[in-house]
Protein backbone atom coordinates (compact mmCIF):
# COMPACT_ATOMS: atom_id res chain seq x y z
CA UNK A 1 0.00 0.00 0.00
CA UNK A 2 1.37 3.40 -0.96
CA UNK A 3 1.77 6.25 1.48
CA UNK A 4 -1.18 8.15 0.01
CA UNK A 5 -3.41 5.08 0.34
CA UNK A 6 -2.37 4.65 3.97
CA UNK A 7 -3.26 8.29 4.67
CA UNK A 8 -6.65 7.89 3.00
CA UNK A 9 -7.32 4.70 4.94
CA UNK A 10 -6.35 6.33 8.25
CA UNK A 11 -8.63 9.28 7.51
CA UNK A 12 -11.43 6.89 6.59
CA UNK A 13 -10.92 4.93 9.81
CA UNK A 14 -11.15 8.08 11.92
CA UNK A 15 -14.18 9.23 9.93
CA UNK A 16 -15.99 5.92 10.44
CA UNK A 17 -15.22 5.97 14.16
CA UNK A 18 -16.54 9.51 14.56
CA UNK A 19 -19.61 8.95 12.39
CA UNK A 20 -20.48 5.74 14.26
CA UNK A 21 -20.20 7.50 17.62
CA UNK A 22 -22.19 10.45 16.24
CA UNK A 23 -25.04 8.28 14.94
CA UNK A 24 -25.31 6.20 18.09
CA UNK A 25 -25.17 9.31 20.29
CA UNK A 26 -27.71 11.15 18.16
CA UNK A 27 -30.17 8.27 18.25
CA UNK A 28 -29.71 7.84 22.01
CA UNK A 29 -30.36 11.57 22.40
CA UNK A 30 -33.51 11.33 20.25
CA UNK A 31 -34.68 8.28 22.18
CA UNK A 32 -34.25 9.97 25.57
CA UNK A 33 -35.41 13.46 24.60
CA UNK A 34 -39.10 12.64 24.57
CA UNK A 35 -39.67 13.79 21.00
CA UNK A 36 -42.48 11.30 20.61
CA UNK A 37 -45.05 11.80 23.35
CA UNK A 38 -47.18 8.83 22.27
CA UNK A 39 -44.20 6.45 22.17
CA UNK A 40 -41.80 5.26 19.52
CA UNK A 41 -44.17 2.56 18.24
CA UNK A 42 -46.95 5.01 17.31
CA UNK A 43 -47.37 6.59 13.89
CA UNK A 44 -45.92 10.11 14.03
CA UNK A 45 -45.50 12.69 11.26
CA UNK A 46 -45.60 10.18 8.42
CA UNK A 47 -43.36 7.52 9.98
CA UNK A 48 -42.99 5.07 12.82
CA UNK A 49 -40.02 6.34 14.90
CA UNK A 50 -38.81 2.90 15.98
CA UNK A 51 -37.74 2.08 12.41
CA UNK A 52 -35.75 5.29 12.05
CA UNK A 53 -34.04 4.74 15.41
CA UNK A 54 -33.27 1.11 14.58
CA UNK A 55 -31.77 2.09 11.21
CA UNK A 56 -29.63 4.73 12.94
CA UNK A 57 -28.35 2.30 15.57
CA UNK A 58 -27.59 -0.37 12.96
CA UNK A 59 -25.75 2.11 10.75
CA UNK A 60 -23.77 3.44 13.72
CA UNK A 61 -22.75 -0.01 14.93
CA UNK A 62 -21.83 -1.11 11.42
CA UNK A 63 -19.67 2.00 11.09
CA UNK A 64 -17.83 1.02 14.26
CA UNK A 65 -17.40 -2.55 13.00
CA UNK A 66 -16.11 -1.16 9.71
CA UNK A 67 -13.61 1.00 11.60
CA UNK A 68 -12.44 -2.07 13.47
CA UNK A 69 -12.17 -4.14 10.27
CA UNK A 70 -9.98 -1.50 8.64
CA UNK A 71 -7.93 -1.14 11.81
CA UNK A 72 -7.01 -4.82 11.99
CA UNK A 73 -6.54 -4.89 8.19
CA UNK A 74 -9.00 -7.69 7.57
CA UNK A 75 -9.12 -8.84 3.97
CA UNK A 76 -12.89 -8.29 3.90
CA UNK A 77 -12.62 -4.83 5.49
CA UNK A 78 -12.68 -2.70 2.36
CA UNK A 79 -15.68 -4.49 0.86
CA UNK A 80 -17.57 -4.26 4.14
CA UNK A 81 -16.62 -0.59 4.45
CA UNK A 82 -17.95 0.04 0.94
CA UNK A 83 -21.27 -1.54 1.95
CA UNK A 84 -21.41 0.45 5.20
CA UNK A 85 -20.54 3.66 3.35
CA UNK A 86 -23.56 3.09 1.13
CA UNK A 87 -25.77 2.60 4.17
CA UNK A 88 -24.29 5.67 5.84
CA UNK A 89 -24.84 7.74 2.71
CA UNK A 90 -28.46 6.57 2.30
CA UNK A 91 -29.33 7.09 5.98
CA UNK A 92 -27.98 10.63 6.02
CA UNK A 93 -29.46 11.55 2.64
CA UNK A 94 -32.92 10.40 3.72
CA UNK A 95 -32.64 12.19 7.08
CA UNK A 96 -31.33 15.41 5.54
CA UNK A 97 -34.77 16.63 4.48
CA UNK A 98 -36.18 16.38 7.98
CA UNK A 99 -33.04 17.92 9.47
CA UNK A 100 -33.26 20.96 7.19
CA UNK A 101 -36.95 21.40 8.01
CA UNK A 102 -36.78 20.85 11.78
CA UNK A 103 -33.27 21.94 12.81
CA UNK A 104 -30.92 23.34 10.13
CA UNK A 105 -27.89 23.14 12.44
CA UNK A 106 -28.32 19.38 12.55
CA UNK A 107 -27.91 19.28 8.75
CA UNK A 108 -24.27 20.49 8.91
CA UNK A 109 -22.70 17.21 10.16
CA UNK A 110 -24.98 15.28 7.82
CA UNK A 111 -23.66 17.22 4.83
CA UNK A 112 -20.07 16.55 5.97
CA UNK A 113 -20.85 12.84 6.20
CA UNK A 114 -22.39 12.88 2.72
CA UNK A 115 -19.42 14.68 1.15
CA UNK A 116 -16.77 12.51 2.79
CA UNK A 117 -18.68 9.34 1.99
CA UNK A 118 -18.96 10.31 -1.67
CA UNK A 119 -15.25 11.06 -1.81
CA UNK A 120 -14.36 7.71 -0.23
CA UNK A 121 -16.21 5.60 -2.81
CA UNK A 122 -13.44 5.60 -5.49
CA UNK A 123 -10.79 4.55 -2.96
CA UNK A 124 -12.96 1.78 -1.54
CA UNK A 125 -13.99 0.50 -4.98
CA UNK A 126 -10.35 0.41 -6.09
CA UNK A 127 -9.24 -1.41 -2.92
CA UNK A 128 -12.16 -3.86 -3.11
CA UNK A 129 -11.63 -4.83 -6.74
CA UNK A 130 -7.97 -5.68 -6.13
CA UNK A 131 -9.01 -8.81 -4.29
CA UNK A 132 -11.25 -10.16 -7.07
User: What does the pLDDT read at residue 16?
Assistant: 95
Q: Which residue has the higher pLDDT, 108 or 42?
A: 108
- Report the domain count for the chain: 1
Structure confidence at residue 132 as a pLDDT band (50, 70, 90): low
Domain that holds residue 101: 3-129
pLDDT per residue as tens digits for the range 24-73: 999 999 888 877 777 777 777 777 888 888 999 999 999 999 999 999 98
CA distance 110 to 23: 10
pTM here? 0.87
Percent of the chain beyond pLDDT 70?
98
Contact predicate 65/74, CB 8 Å: no
The DSSP code for 1 is: -
Amino acid sequence: MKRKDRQIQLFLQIFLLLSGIYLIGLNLWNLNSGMWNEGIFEFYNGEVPVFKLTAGFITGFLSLISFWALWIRAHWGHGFTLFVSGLLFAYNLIGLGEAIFVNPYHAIPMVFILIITLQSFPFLIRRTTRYL
